[in-house]
Structure 1
Amino acid sequence: MSIFSYTRSIYALDTIDTRFTSSSNTPYKTVVDARSDSATSGSKRDDSKPGVGVKTDRHGRPVAQPSKWNTPEFYVYYFVFLTIVPYMFWIAYDVSRRSCPANSIKDRELTLNQHRIRITRNTNLFCLKGGYWAVKLQDLSDAQYYNFRKNIPYLSLLLIFHPILRKLYNTIRPLPARIGSPKPNGSTYISAAEGEAHLEQRASFDFGWALIFLAALHGFSAIKVLLILYANFSLATRLPRKFVPVATWVFNIAILFANELSDGYKFAKMAVYLWPVESGVLDPGNALHGWGIWFDSYGGIISRWEILFNITVLRMISYNLDYYWSLDERGGNILEKKQLDPANLSERDRVSIPAASKDFNFRNYIGYTVYGPLYLTGPILTFNDYISQLKYPPLQSKHPAQ
């Protein structure tokens, strides 16, 4: 496979999300097998024609329309892309160059994030005259983006170490020997015992990594995150069932506002509140105030944890509601009634079939809400889906001979 073919395959609709080309009711293994058959035959599947893995409507007709790459409509898109995108890059360059047009009407200096910047103001343009580095100019006007950009190397290291440490952990703590054997009809290739072993291995790593990840990302503020997560966990597991949905929504929406209004609950502000002084301001000589200042000074790679926490709130709600719905009926009963293979569930089934009661524990909850690869920007997956994929990794649902 050439580099161009490989790059194209990465951005194929079927790779990005199988729901673009297949029904969410189609088991993932069926989609993978259809993809493998297509690769073996050397022909590319046409999703606009009926076939295995092709998403259809209720009348059996393919949902996907024929390709429009060579249609007049797409030629308009090509023109827009080839003109607008380069222009976007030009605008970024134009506002960052050292010289500005001669019609500037105001020249001033200001300090942002402790770095002196010289900006020339034109009628419709701001030009950056000085910068953070001597060679490369930077726009530091957005504190949040500046904080993210300066920490890109550290964030990259965290993302690189995550799969490496997982492989190392799996080597140190390998799965037990294969338990059981496939059913005669070939429907199951991962037994229930193997699924539990997968869950134990992966969830234990996710929990440990979550604690390390939070500490590196938010420093001492990781304590605040864990306290909020524990409070939400307690709502779901300790309140009477009928109060869980309302309490979950009220608590999480209130947390969003509280995080923003309190600016992330600074330790120094809490110290002043607990030990007020006459002046009403921080006193570094006060022991409690000094500790508050010191804790705030170690805010990790991204000190503004409350910004990223907005996405975590969605996972907290998902966990609580999945637990609430699971109390009606357990996944094992549904699997038996529908005669479904837990190792070969469709995406819709992974979301709707509740996890076992013992899987709704604090370890799995932390591993889910602070799952490293999805913590910063998402996307969001439900807790039921998370547990299902831990037990039965989709790409491993294959015949042993393959």
Structure 2
Amino acid sequence: MQWDNIGSFLSLQALDSRLKPRSDNKRRQKMIMSAGRPLWNTVEFKFYYVAFLIVVPLMIKSAMSASNETSPNYYRFEGLLSPGWIFGRKVDNSDSQYRFFRDNLPLLIGLVVMHTSLKRVCLFAFKTTRNRFDLVFGLIFLIGAHGVSSLRIMAHLLTNYYIAKSLKRHPGYGRFFTWVYGISTLFINDNFRAYPFGNILPFLSPLDSSFKGIIARWDVFFNFTLLRMISFNMDFLARYSDVTGKEPTPSPPPCFEKPALSRSASSTTKLETICENGSNSILTDEHARLAAPHHIQDYSLANYLAYITYTPLFIAGPIITFNDYLYQTKHLLPTITRKGIIMYALRFLFCVLTMEVVLHYIYVVAVSKTKAWDNDTPFQISMIGLFNLNIVWLKLLIPWRLFRLWAMVDGIDVPENMIRCMNNNYSALAFWRSWHRSFNKWVLRYIYIPLGGSNNRILTTLAVFSFVAIWHDIELKLLLWGWLIVLFLIPEIFATQYFSKYQRKPWYRFVCGAGAVSNIWLMMIANLFGFCLGYDGTVKLIKDMFLTFDGIKFTVCANAALFIAVQVMFEQRESEKRQGINVKC
């Protein structure tokens, strides 16, 4: 029973209710039948378990020996360490992004408590609507976060809003200019984020010396605001086209027989979904909520600003579409339960404590910043890089989970951004589906599918990664990185298509395992170069791997270990299929 409880706590469904077994019984049974027989108790996998018991502790030991007091390079990075709280050890708090979050975590938790408590009081005492409270609190938070720079953000918001409203009768032009303006804002902000107000109009000069907010770099977080701006415009233009018949109306979600939209006496919009049995039903299916038939008047400036400035998700997401947000402000989904929130909060706490232990015992961030790996073995250098990547993963996962937890406490269920551990990936395609998942779903809805999806896979993928690169930062190297990602994906796409016809062959998973090992090396080297070791460290690692005896021995052993890890990953996904779950990553 204890193992069942642990399995339930660590399950995908406990992480995000969207990751549950398929509701369609026929498709679920077909998926279950497609899964292979269980391998967990075979002799092969018992050998793998022994390998895990040996290799994983060695990996941790190697990372610690290369980054602790025992390292001959310790004097070079000791100055970046800070006093810690675990058994008197120092902590590696040298990553500026995570340091900002870590140092302000108590304030953020206090803000969560204040926001959710105040909202409950206002909804009860003043009988206001949820989105009206979100609007007022969101605007106050916007000013507090960015100060006078909130005027720059509001200028973008209003321009985007009026593009959609003024071109609603010409939805094609509306979408085109939404994208043109949206991408232009990234370049405008990059070049004019601190442009003096006094240079625009002389009487605005006092604003240049006014309060800049708690987060002065407003442009860094504007990128998330841009995604919401585009989502509103696209959802509004699609809905207006449906109402006016400008474009073919998509088929209604399977739950509906027809949607009924009515105005109550208080003029508050009420959306009722009438199913075939005539009873009101909440749309538990996310795809149905994406096209929920809201009244056209709900696409108002007030709801637009409430959505854009929704406080729990304003800083960094996760991303939720306008249609989904608006629906959830009127309907509390059955997935929002006390048990689910507590389980998610415990998983968040577990991740925070894991990060703390890593930062107190493995100082790889400080090592990377000072390039203090002289005379380290290839195994040690690779572990410096690997644990750095794990810290990058955790430093993004933890804030995203806090913000999602905040939204859940507030009654809004948004997609989980990280559904796989960073070490539990073998496919570049699948990796991008599980990393920043809400952004991936946004890209699919607003870029990939409208441009043709799988019918034009390479070109649509190129468009997706070009936008993703520009969205992250206006740098040529990031654009080249996006194009290289597409180049790396092409062999996987063609190999998957070619070998899929052999998937019932006994040798199929071993061939896939060899390909997966190659994929992992490509992904690791690319990310080590970009985020951890840089040019010098990556070149040293590759030279040591192939030009020294210890390096060749390490390469052989590493490939064997990766092959074993990949087989366990394969079986985990087969096990999920046997439960009717396939998250495609």
User: TM over 0.5, yes or no?
Assistant: yes
Letter in 2 for 1:307: V
Structure possessing the higher radius of gyration over alpha carbons: 1
Note the C-alpha offset of 1:321.
Answer: 0.5
Q: Deviations over 1:336-365 (max 9, x none)?
A: 547536632232211123321111011211
Match 1:329 to one of 242, 253, 259:
242
- The equivalent of 2:316 in structure 1 is 377
Q: Show structure 1 runs of 5+ residues with no match.
A: 27-52, 105-118, 122-126, 175-199, 277-286
Note the C-alpha offset of 1:173.
Answer: 2.7
Task: Trace 1:299-310 onto structure 2 (pairs within 5 A).
Answer: 299-300=213-214, 302-310=215-223
Matched, 1:235 2:163: yes
Q: Deviations over 1:267-289 (max 9, x none)?
A: xx41574599xxxxxxxxxx976
Task: Trace 1:216-295 onto structure 2 (pairs within 5 A).
Answer: 216-240=144-168, 241=170, 242-262=172-192, 265-266=193-194, 269-270=195-196, 273=199, 291-295=207-211
Matched, 1:129 2:79: yes
Task: Give the conservation status (yes or no) of the 8 Å contact 2:141–2:311.
Answer: yes
Note the C-alpha offset of 1:371.
Answer: 1.9
Task: Trace 1:58-137 onto structure 2 (pairs within 5 A).
Answer: 59=30, 76=48, 80=52, 84=56, 87=59, 91=63, 95=67, 99=69, 101-102=71-72, 120-121=75-76, 127-129=77-79
> Distance in 2 between the 1:254 and 1:66 partners?
52
- The equivalent of 1:311 in structure 2 is 224
Task: Give the conservation status (yes or no) of the 8 Å contact 1:214–1:222.
Answer: yes
- The equivalent of 1:16 in structure 2 is 15
Q: Secondary structure at the match of 2:317?
A: coil
Task: Trace 1:171-186 onto structure 2 (pairs within 5 A).
Answer: 171-174=124-127
Task: Give the conservation status (yes or no) of the 8 Å contact 1:232–1:248.
Answer: yes
Task: Give the conservation status (yes or no) of the 8 Å contact 2:81–2:94.
Answer: no
Q: Deviations over 1:83-110 (max 9, x none)?
A: 6589569847964x6x5744x5xxxxxx
> Cα gap change, 1:305/1:375 in structure 2, threshold over 3 Å: closer, same or farther?
same
- The equivalent of 1:36 in structure 2 is none
Q: Secondary structure at the match of 1:343?
A: coil
Note the C-alpha offset of 1:158.
Answer: 1.6
Task: Give the conservation status (yes or no) of the 8 Å contact 2:21–2:28.
Answer: no
Letter in 1 for 2:232: Y
> Distance in 1 between the 2:81 and 2:298 partners?
52
Letter in 1 for 2:121: L
Note the C-alpha offset of 1:257.
Answer: 2.6
Task: Give the conservation status (yes or no) of the 8 Å contact 1:130–1:137.
Answer: no
Task: Give the conservation status (yes or no) of the 8 Å contact 2:175–2:233.
Answer: yes
Letter in 2 for 1:19: R
Q: Secondary structure at the match of 1:395?
A: coil
> Distance in 2 between the 1:78 and 1:309 partners?
48
- The equivalent of 2:115 in structure 1 is 162
> Distance in 2 between the 1:167 and 1:306 partners?
32
Percent identity of equivalent pairs: 28
- The equivalent of 2:289 in structure 1 is 350
- The equivalent of 2:430 in structure 1 is none
Q: Deviations over 1:138-162 (max 9, x none)?
A: 6575444443333333222222222
Task: Give the conservation status (yes or no) of the 8 Å contact 1:219–1:299.
Answer: yes
> Distance in 2 between the 1:81 and 1:272 partners?
65
Note the C-alpha offset of 1:329.
Answer: 2.0
Note the C-alpha offset of 1:5.
Answer: 7.4
Q: Deviations over 1:32-62 (max 9, x none)?
A: xxxxxxxxxxxxxxxxxxxxx7683585856
> Cα gap change, 1:81/1:290 in structure 2, threshold over 3 Å: closer, same or farther?
farther
Letter in 2 for 1:14: Q
Task: Give the conservation status (yes or no) of the 8 Å contact 1:21–1:64.
Answer: no
Match 1:56 to one of 12, 21, 27:
27
Higher relative contact order at CA 8 Å, sep ≥6: structure 1 or structure 2?
2
Task: Give the conservation status (yes or no) of the 8 Å contact 2:148–2:210.
Answer: no
Letter in 2 for 1:343: S
Q: Show structure 2 runs of 5+ residues with no match.
A: 244-248, 260-273, 338-585
Q: Deviations over 1:235-273 (max 9, x none)?
A: 1112243311101111111112322343xx12xx41574
Q: Deviations over 1:303-358 (max 9, x none)?
A: 22222222221111111100010012249x95554753663223221112332111
> Distance in 1 between the 2:204 and 2:318 partners?
40
- The equivalent of 1:214 in structure 2 is 142
Letter in 2 for 1:230: L
Task: Give the conservation status (yes or no) of the 8 Å contact 1:128–1:137.
Answer: no
**TM-score, with structure 1 as normaliser:** 0.61
> Distance in 1 between the 2:333 and 2:322 partners?
16
> Distance in 2 between the 1:18 and 1:74 partners?
32
Letter in 2 for 1:299: G
Letter in 2 for 1:208: V
> Distance in 1 between the 2:204 and 2:28 partners?
65
> Cα gap change, 1:80/1:140 in structure 2, threshold over 3 Å: closer, same or farther?
same
Q: Deviations over 1:70-93 (max 9, x none)?
A: 565598489659965895698479
Q: Deviations over 1:279-301 (max 9, x none)?
A: xxxxxxxx976752444xx331x
Please, which moves more after superposition, 163-172 or 388-397?
Answer: 388-397
Of Structure 1 and Structure 2, the greater helix share is in 2
> Cα gap change, 1:363/1:144 in structure 2, threshold over 3 Å: closer, same or farther?
same
Letter in 1 for 2:316: T
Task: Give the conservation status (yes or no) of the 8 Å contact 2:83–2:89.
Answer: yes
Task: Give the conservation status (yes or no) of the 8 Å contact 2:17–2:335.
Answer: no
